[in-house]
């Protein structure tokens, strides 16, 4: 019989869920119920995978636990997926758009508060195995801080989803703006991270197929922009206790970007503020206020939720930081590794030392999100992937054709059509 020592604990830091539209009603303040009833009566969910049998994976706690245990996963971090009250699409996809007026801000804030309350109850149904990500409307930063505190008091400890603030959003577009200071201070005080999820930062440019394609292709650039702003803009210098997680963005870009920022830092930071050619660098006085090189801020404060972790990225783990990488499945999205997460883990971590694999699969996530490995170990003893089989890897030729849907297996299955990284359903507004 397998023991806890024989198996890995697996925590997915990239899960998605939410209530069905009607399921949010009980979580709204009474003042919004009439508005909600009028809105819900005319609202039709635009996503096929949230209708019928498959939709319940977002809110059926027992089904979700069965699916994840079948997949070898014992705990997860929960990002939004369904449509909360008064939103037209998933709030993750809607966060980039401008809110037209103060009345709409008020309504959407009520909708996100309802989601946070639902999330607290949903996490409580699997105590110690779910960490929910809090959503806020940052248009009133003091109100947003209050909503964060209320959610944490209710038991939601997965941190805050960093809202998108691209040009046109109606918010200060630069995260190093002093406006966001109370947000960083509150997260530090409460010991929770800021979460940057792919698709929640960049602006949409239209509804043509080309717009959809470039939106997906540009997502990683917007996430890189966020890291540049937080580091070079001095946020991580001013708030050294802030933890930042970049999720579902891959990990291969991180060493290149850190190297590029380090070069800029080294060439700009001089005693005189002048380059070797005697020309003043733009930004030199800003860089002079940084006490660390950019890669050192990454080392001190940043993490990556490497959904679809691939052997090419595992090979760069020392450059990213083994203690910075966290595995994710993206359940229940169509491109998730479910129900082939065991195979995805074996494919990504073949030959990786056991202690390093354990850090990427669970240890790092436990440190960032507050999971107790001791509490999770008995569940892992039942369902976790074997340590020996993970180290041994998997022959891609033995993978079922359906596994090709997940980018974790990119390049491993010749002739199979691979899915574009990112949830097309979630990101394409109807």
Handedness of CA 207, 212, 216, 217 (dihedral sign): negative
Rounded Cα gap, residues 262 and 268, in angstroms: 10
Q: How confident is the model at residue 380 (pLDDT cuts 50, 70, 90)?
A: very high
Are 173 and 167 in contact, with CB atoms under 8 Å apart? yes
Distance CA 414, CA 410 (A): 9
201: pLDDT strictly greater than 70: no
CA atoms of 400 and 53, how far apart (whole Å)? 23
**Nearest partner of 89 among 154, 29, 30, 45, judged by Cα:** 45
Residue 164: pLDDT band (50, 70, 90) is: confident
Q: What rounded mean pLDDT belongs to the chain?
A: 88
- List the helix and strand counts (H, then E) for the chain: 20, 8
Q: Is the pLDDT of residue 142 over 50?
A: yes
- The total number of residues shown for the chain amounts to 430
Averaged pLDDT, 414-429: 38
Cα dihedral sign, 95-98-104-106: positive
How confident is the model over 76-117, as pLDDT tens digits?
999 999 999 999 888 876 655 677 788 999 999 999 999 999
What residue spans define the domains of the chain?
4-427
Name the architecture of domain 4-427: Alpha-Beta Barrel (3.20)
The reported pLDDT for the residue numbered 417 is: 40
Residue 203's pLDDT is what? 65
Identify the pLDDT of residue 17. 96
pLDDT band at residue 24 under the 50/70/90 scheme: very high
3-state helix, strand, coil in the chain (%, to 5): 50, 10, 40
- Cβ neighbors of 52 (< 8 A, separation 6 or more) are none
Dist. CA 252–CA 22, nearest whole Å: 40
Proportion of the chain above pLDDT 90, given as a percent:
70
Residue bearing tokens 């919004």: 32
Residue 172 has pLDDT above 60, yes or no: yes
Beta bridge partners of 179: none
**Per-residue pLDDT tens digits for 301-356:** 999 999 999 999 999 999 999 999 999 999 999 999 999 999 999 999 999 999 99
- Is residue 428 over pLDDT 60? no
* Radius of gyration of the CA atoms of the chain, in A: 21
pLDDT digits (tens, 9 = 90+) for 210-251: 767 776 676 777 788 899 999 999 999 999 999 999 999 899
Give tens-digit pLDDT for 245-298.
999 989 999 999 999 999 989 888 765 444 444 444 556 678 888 999 999 999
- What SS3 class is residue 342? helix
Tokens of 169: 């959003």
């Amino acid at each position: 019989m397998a023991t806890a020592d024989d198996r890995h604990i697996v925590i997915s830091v990239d899960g998605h869920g939410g209530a069905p539209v009607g399921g949010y009603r009980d979580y709204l303040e009474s003042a919004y119920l009439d508005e909600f009833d009028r809105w819900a009566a005319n609202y039709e969910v635009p996503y096929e995978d949230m209708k019928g049998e498959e939709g319940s994976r977002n809110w059926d706690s027992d089904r979700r636990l069965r699916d994840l245990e079948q997949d070898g996963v014992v705990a997860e971090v929960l990002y939004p997926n369904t449509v909360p009250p008064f939103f037209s699409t998933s709030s993750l996809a809607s966060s980039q758009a401008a809110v037209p007026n103060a009345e709409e801000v008020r309504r959407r804030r009520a909708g996100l508060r309802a989601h946070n309350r639902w999330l607290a109850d949903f996490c409580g149904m699997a105590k110690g195995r779910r960490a929910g990500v809090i959503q806020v409307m940052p248009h009133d930063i003091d109100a947003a801080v209050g909503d964060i505190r209320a959610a944490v008091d209710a038991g939601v400890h997965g941190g805050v989803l960093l809202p998108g603030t691209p040009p046109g959003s109606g918010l200060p577009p630069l995260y190093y703006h002093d406006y966001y200071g109370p947000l960083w201070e509150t997260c530090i005080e409460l010991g929770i991270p800021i979460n940057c999820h792919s698709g929640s930062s960049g602006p949409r440019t239209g509804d043509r197929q080309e717009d959809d394609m470039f939106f997906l292709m540009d997502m990683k650039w917007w996430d890189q922009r966020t890291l540049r702003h937080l580091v070079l803009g001095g946020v991580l210098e001013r708030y050294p206790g802030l933890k930042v997680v970049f999720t579902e963005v891959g990990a291969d870009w991180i060493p290149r970007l850190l190297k590029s920022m380090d070069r800029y830092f080294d060439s700009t930071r001089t005693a005189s503020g002048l380059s070797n050619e005697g020309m003043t660098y733009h930004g030199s006085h800003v860089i002079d206020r940084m006490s660390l090189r950019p890669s050192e801020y990454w080392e001190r404060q940043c993490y990556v939720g490497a959904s679809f972790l691939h052997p090419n990225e595992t090979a760069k783990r020392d450059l990213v930081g083994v203690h910075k990488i966290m595995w994710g499945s993206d359940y229940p999205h169509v491109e998730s590794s479910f129900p082939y997460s065991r195979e995805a883990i074996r494919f990504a971590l073949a030959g990786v030392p056991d202690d390093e694999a354990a850090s990427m699969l669970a240890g790092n996530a436990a440190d960032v999100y507050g999971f107790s490995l001791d509490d999770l170990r008995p569940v892992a003893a039942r369902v976790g992937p074997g340590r020996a089989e993970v180290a041994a890897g998997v022959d891609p030729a033995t993978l079922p054709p359906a596994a090709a849907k997940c980018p974790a297996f990119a390049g491993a299955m010749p002739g199979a059509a691979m899915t574009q990284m990112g949830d097309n359903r979630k990101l394409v507004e109807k």
